[in-house]
Chain A
């Protein structure tokens, strides 16, 4: 049994959906041109992951091994439909911006990956926690990539925040320099690939740095 601590660390960092598993890249690359879009899709994916993991874990005793994948897909599709309809009701403008990528959460490999790899083998508690942590890890990367691309591409941060947080959030929009000409490449698809690559490099660098430091010290220790 995996401990809570381990599940949390896995989801947020060491087995991050976007940076390590490299799953769900289609929505990740397509909608992260602003922070708000990234957070919107990230939240939708997060809720889907929690619900689908919980349900899959709850029924894991009743589903025969041979039919488990279609059943998982049905569960995920139902959850996504619920979320899509709720977003249509609650955040209509954001729903319009994200468009096809909300129903496409069904095809996000990360979700069926967690259902198959974790939820179907663990009790409800850890499964829900795993969904939460994996979802948060994904949300974090979406938001970070969105921020990176928005700052470089448009020179703003939290533009169109009112789509998600209501009219009061209009003031959240930060404009860094009104004369900024805009670096369109960051907003276009290539920018998403470059941005994601930079984030992966940054993560690997952070992971490897302690090892390299340790190695740098070793030879000195031997010579003593």
Chain B
């Protein structure tokens, strides 16, 4: 009788890519529902469309690359990328915008680099940035939350807009700048922040409506932390970095620099910290590296928001930090036991 020598680990790990992705999707649910509750069902249409197109592109390019299609489609990585991408879009986007963006994300952002696990840049952010640069008008048509305008586009109206059946002019009264946009414009006009924040667009801490969505992203993010789907390093470093730099400038001059809480709860900071920057493929891989990576994104978000040309900078910050990941990983390798 021969005994087979087995090396550790002796307990088979239960984690799989599919399980990980499903956990992320579950964590995204409360925030997504809060989003739909505040801004109407348009975001749900965007998500469904993006997932549909993403799976289509994924299947097409896998076939082109002569790779097995079904295992890759059912690992849900494309679904998560599409979901995050759709959350970045304005709530009512024409269908072709979703198609072009997710197509660029899947083909140029993911598969041209070799597919899942090989892409240096977060595909969802690649798609979003490509759209933001290419279609500034469509990408900056945002809507008021229902708690301000009193009504949001119903499912039928949202559908007819997405598929080109209705013109945007019709709902002109419902469109509006985002709080971060309003803040940037106001500061550009030399209006003090206290005055800018008198506008109905602003809530207690961040943007009205937006701050609630941010709260639910935090809940989802904490669940990811509890289930150990993500580690604490990146979200803590990212939000911590933002908190430190925004507090410093807030203390210098609260008239020109918005409060730290406003920065943390506006725009995509929270969802970026828990869901986007933590993408296991494109983030740094060592613990020390993750902290540097998170800090870098946090600082960059603030720099782009305050001194850059765009009202929010999460996507750009994540892509810039993605670029630094090989360097960060190289210099943050832990010491091998027994070596100097």
Residues of A in contact with B (beta carbons under 8 Å apart)? 181-186, 188, 194
Considering the chains assembled together, what is the distance between the CA atoms of A186 and B133 in angstroms? 10
Instruction: Kindly list chain B residues whose C-beta atoms are within 8 Å of the C-beta of A188.
Output: 133
- Min CB gap B212→A, angstroms: 33
Considering the chains assembled together, what is the distance between the CA atoms of A186 and B137 in angstroms? 17
Residues of B in contact with A (beta carbons under 8 Å apart)? 100, 108, 130, 133-138
Instruction: Kindly list chain B residues whose C-beta atoms are within 8 Å of the C-beta of A184.
Output: 133-136
The contact of A194 among B108, B136, B138, by CB within 8 Å, is B108
Considering the chains assembled together, what is the distance between the CA atoms of A182 and B135 in angstroms? 8
Instruction: Kindly list chain A residues whose C-beta atoms are within 8 Å of the C-beta of B133.
Output: 184-185, 188
Flag if A181 contacts B108 (CB, 8 Å): no
Flag if B100 contacts A183 (CB, 8 Å): yes
Instruction: Kindly list chain A residues whose C-beta atoms are within 8 Å of the C-beta of B134.
Output: 182-186
- Min CB gap A189→B, angstroms: 11
Considering the chains assembled together, what is the distance between the CA atoms of A124 and B136 in angstroms? 54
- Min CB gap A190→B, angstroms: 8
Considering the chains assembled together, what is the distance between the CA atoms of A181 and B133 in angstroms? 13
Extra pairs beyond A182-B134, A185-B134, A188-B133 (4, CB < 8 Å): A181-B138, A183-B135, A184-B134, A184-B136
Instruction: Kindly list chain B residues whose C-beta atoms are within 8 Å of the C-beta of A182.
Output: 134-135
Considering the chains assembled together, what is the distance between the CA atoms of A153 and B215 in angstroms? 40
- Min CB gap B156→A, angstroms: 24
Flag if A185 contacts B138 (CB, 8 Å): no
The residue in chain A whose Cβ has the minimal distance to the Cβ of B135 is A181
- Min CB gap B163→A, angstroms: 15
- For the complex of A and B, the 7 pairs showing the least CB-CB separation, nearest first, are A184-B134, A185-B134, A183-B134, A185-B130, A185-B133, A184-B133, A181-B135
The residue in chain A whose Cβ has the minimal distance to the Cβ of B100 is A183
The residue in chain B whose Cβ has the minimal distance to the Cβ of A188 is B133
A-B pairs with beta carbons under 8 Å apart, 9 shown: A181-B138, A183-B100, A183-B135, A184-B134, A184-B135, A185-B130, A185-B134, A188-B133, A194-B108
- Min CB gap B259→A, angstroms: 35
The residue in chain A whose Cβ has the minimal distance to the Cβ of B138 is A181
Instruction: Kindly list chain A residues whose C-beta atoms are within 8 Å of the C-beta of B137.
Output: 181
Instruction: Kindly list chain A residues whose C-beta atoms are within 8 Å of the C-beta of B100.
Output: 183
- Min CB gap B242→A, angstroms: 28
The residue in chain B whose Cβ has the minimal distance to the Cβ of A194 is B108
